[in-house]
Structure 1
């Protein structure tokens, strides 16, 4: 199923959950905000169409906010993500990226997927039925009828994704700057899911970690 492969991106939404947020937790690891000259956007997915769509959406959101960004599928060295890379290969890729002016990288990965069950609480409602027992009083002539709706169970698949921002220009130990966790329940539209995930991701980054000129 195409949307399932999309979630397997590294990527991804408001499509299935209305206006609720996908972001469940985030941390500005570096404790600072900084500007970036050029940011690589990388989403891991076995489906190239999904990957391209997601990366382009994030790039578009970043550029709209004054951040120079490039999709990884357009860069030699990061085009093919279908295989594992050795540490030396990763080092070479990083070196090449830095030489091309990149100083930041946003990477999104699928952490896990699992079934979920939500309990939707039932409710009660009361109506007043006219009885017409003489003329004793206005309210005496009505009696309440209350109905109860039972709790309902909703089940589906929940996808947990993680997006991270790295400062790839520094070699001083860990270069993780920011990390956020996102949860998607039963995404139904690749286009809307990708677009809204990108908006929320970039919004969180600009608020907590990326400064703009």
Structure 2
């Protein structure tokens, strides 16, 4: 595998599906790509208030490659009130050259109607009674039945993922995903990263040839 693809070493994840997460939009700096940046140490920052959720999200990404480092290990506790200049200075002193941030942009509740369905049983002839138990035989003469429709509510989350070059101090890629049917932060984060990698390849930020 090419060295610069170490930025997102998610080959295993790419074999999974993420039907509940889709890319809404994305943007790439025209002068940047992963090959040019050659990231060697990347800070991962989950911008959420809950500390456990923050750690779960960051650890899910960090587990994919040793060049990823969680923000709570470097920018936590007494460092939380530092200015952005002071935080940037810490990152540079620790030789970070890239950063990935993930934040919730919007959350919406959607209500939709699931229509009812008709189920028609087969009306067989008397000859079909031979060799069948009573429950099977009686089923041939059961009337049509209808499953009524119902309303169902789901919550949609718009999550923004950004990639920054710290050496250039600029945004080099950003994308927004829409996720539904969220069960836990780790699964959702994996699904987001799957779609992010796919979109990065489409945008030309990552080389699609993983060899």
TM-score, normalised to structure 2, is 0.65
SS in 2 for 1:43: strand
Query: How many equivalent pairs are there?
Result: 171
Verify the 8 A CA contact 1:116 1:158 in the aligned structure 2.
yes
Question: After the TM superposition, which parts of structure 1 deviate over 6 Å for at least 4 consecutive aligned residues?
Answer: 81-85
Partner of 2:76: 79
**Distance in 1, Cα, partners of 2:180 & 2:78:** 23
- RMSD value, Cα: 3.4
**Distance in 1, Cα, partners of 2:22 & 2:85:** 31
Per-residue Cα deviation, 1:106-161 (whole angstroms, up to 9, x for no partner): 111122223221222322222232477xxxxxxxxx99954433322112433332
Verify the 8 A CA contact 1:167 1:177 in the aligned structure 2.
no
Per the TM alignment, residue 102 of structure 1 is displaced from its structure 2 partner at its CA by 1.4
More helix by share: 2
TM-score, normalised to structure 1, is 0.64
Q: Structure 1 residues 51, 37: closer, same or farther in 2, change over 3 A?
A: same
Mapping 1:77-116, distance limit 5 Å = 78-80=75-77, 89-116=83-110
Q: Structure 1 residues 36, 146: closer, same or farther in 2, change over 3 A?
A: same
Per the TM alignment, residue 91 of structure 1 is displaced from its structure 2 partner at its CA by 2.7
Partner of 2:178: 182
**Distance in 2, Cα, partners of 1:106 & 1:114:** 24
